Amino acid sequence: MIGRFNGGANAGHTIIANGVKFAFHMLPCGLLYPNTINLIGNGVVVSLESLFEELADLDKHGVDYAGRLFISDRAHLTLKGHLEADGA
């Protein structure tokens, strides 16, 4: 099991696997390992926009994460409107 336990989309790291560069901000890097369960935990501030961008990148490169990614029901969720309100 690989877990992300705190922070938000401003944090992250880059991994190169099989010659492909992946930039992880929301997702646990364990998704690159096919036999792992991955958890976004209750201390994470989840940006849906960033999350879906990263999932699209995994899809583009054929990384199968179906049934291996779970998000805590206590994780914090931010939407584009939250960021706009904060900026105002």
pLDDT digits (tens, 9 = 90+) for 7-59: 888 878 899 998 999 999 999 999 999 999 999 999 899 999 899 999 999 99
80 C-beta neighbours (distance < 10 Å), count: 10
- Residue 47 tokens read as 């940006």
Closest CA to 44 of 83, 74, 86: 74
> Under CATH, which number does the domain 2-87 receive?
3.40.440.10
Residue 13 is predicted with a pLDDT of 86
Helices (H), the chain: 48-60, 80-87
Domain spans of the chain?
A: 2-87
Task: Return d(Cα 88, Cα 79) in angstroms, integer.
Answer: 15
Task: Return d(Cα 76, Cα 78) in angstroms, integer.
Answer: 7
Task: Return d(Cα 37, Cα 62) in angstroms, integer.
Answer: 17
Its pTM surpasses 0.85: yes
